[in-house]
Amino acid sequence: MKQHLEKLMNQENLTIEEMKQATEHCFTPNITDTEIASLLTALRAKGETADEVAGIVDVIRSESQSVPTSLSHVMDNCGTGGDQSHSFNISTTAAFIIAGAGVTIAKHGNRSISSKTGSADVLEHLGISLSFQPEQTEEILQKNGIAFLYAPHIHPNLKRFMKVRKELGLPTILNLIGPLTNPVELDSQLLGIYRRDMLAMMAESLKKLGRRRALVVNGAGYMDEASLAGDNHLVLLDNGQTSAFTLHPEELDLPVYTNEQIRGGDAKENAVILQNVLQGKPGAYLDTAVLNAGLGLFANGKATTIEKGIELARESISSGAAYEKLQRLMEYSKQIPSEVI
């Protein structure tokens, strides 16, 4: 570890293999909190690279609960969090819309960390279990096309990292990589990040992690979701090639809303918002979810254009398919014993 720390302190980047070695050491019994904290802060002070992100993600995934699946085209639309926007659960709501349009979603998520209500909080309030075992997750993905993977459940070996992260109280590489550590082999991904300056780097990380297609977005107001408040900044990864562009809601014939108009509340309030959107209640929440679901369908390749993605998203809601995905996940949850995590 010492040689890796010295290299970072000299403002030198680690290779993927060096980052893997450093991360693997963090999972050994004799690691100290000081060493983990030093690695995280040295990376942050230097500035993380795509190789370093890919390296730490590879090791974390290898240390996670495996969720094997025979499905070949699975995606996730999880964001990093950290934007302090206190919005409703946009990506969670959009996930059901994307699934209703025919794309298999392995939704990775957690309880609230930087926002008021995390994806796990709102889904738990709706009666969805956080305790699915790997074989149950595989069955649900096969039969329902969407399953929820609760991060602490599938990453039990990260407790030491989380302890240090909490004690540091500073944003580190751990604030960026959550959506990348999904244990399911993802083919495509919609990734929202709160750091606009890291769009290209994160797209390169997704390339190194083997994504066929991906879309990385930082929304208006620096949200980790696409926003209807103004220009959204995006980078598309398509078969190894990346391209950057901006997108304003008016280009898609969508209304403009301020980010304050899509604020959420506690788990109970956000659960109501989620259900209202999936049942087609008009307004800022619906239009924001449709935009993000449309981007997800474009990121996956189900839609050839963002406009087509938005069209498919609206059909998913109007047909009742999106709401049915939620209802079926709630039904699956009733069939397994409850577990407090």
Of 57, 45, 89, 76, the closest CA to residue 223 belongs to 89
Is 64 marked as binding a ligand? no
Q: What is the dihedral of CA 282, 287, 289, 292, to 10 degrees?
A: 160
Q: Is residue 127 part of an annotated ligand binding site?
A: no
User: Is residue 131 annotated as involved in ligand binding?
Assistant: no
Is 287 annotated in some ligand binding site? no
> Is residue 76 a known part of a binding site?
no
Label residues 139-152 b or e (16+ Cβ within 10 Å = b): ebbeebbbbbbbbe
Q: What is the largest CA-CA distance in the chain?
A: 58
- Determine whether the annotation assigns residue 38 to a binding site: no
Q: At what angle do helices 33-46 and 159-168 cross, to 10 degrees?
A: 60
* 82 annotated ligand-binding residue: yes
Q: 108: annotated binding-site residue?
A: yes
Q: Is 261 exposed, middle or buried (0-12, 13-18, 19+ CB in 10 A)?
A: middle
Residues 6+ positions from 155 with CB-CB distance below 8 Å: 60, 63, 64, 65, 181
Cβ proximity of 165 and 171 under 8 Å? no
Residues 341 and 336: their CA atoms lie apart, in Å, by: 15
Structure tokens at 142: 């096969």
**Is residue 296 part of an annotated ligand binding site?**
no
Is 32 annotated among the ligand-binding residues? no
Distance of CA 62 to the CA centre of its chain: 18
Is 115 within any annotated ligand binding site?
Answer: yes
Fill in the DSSP letter of residue 124. H
110 annotated as ligand-binding: yes
Residue 55 marked in a binding site: no
93 among annotated binding-site residues: no
Q: Does 60 count as an annotated binding residue? A: no
Lateral strand order in the sheet of 241-247: 146-150, 104-109, 74-76, 188-192, 213-218, 232-238, 241-247
Which residues sit in the known binding site for anthranilate?
A: 79, 110, 165
Annotated binding-site residue numbers for Mg(2+): 91, 224-225
Annotated binding site for 5-phospho-alpha-D-ribose 1-diphosphate: 79, 82-83, 87, 89-92, 107-115, 119
* Binding site members: 79, 82-83, 87, 89-92, 107-115, 119, 165, 224-225
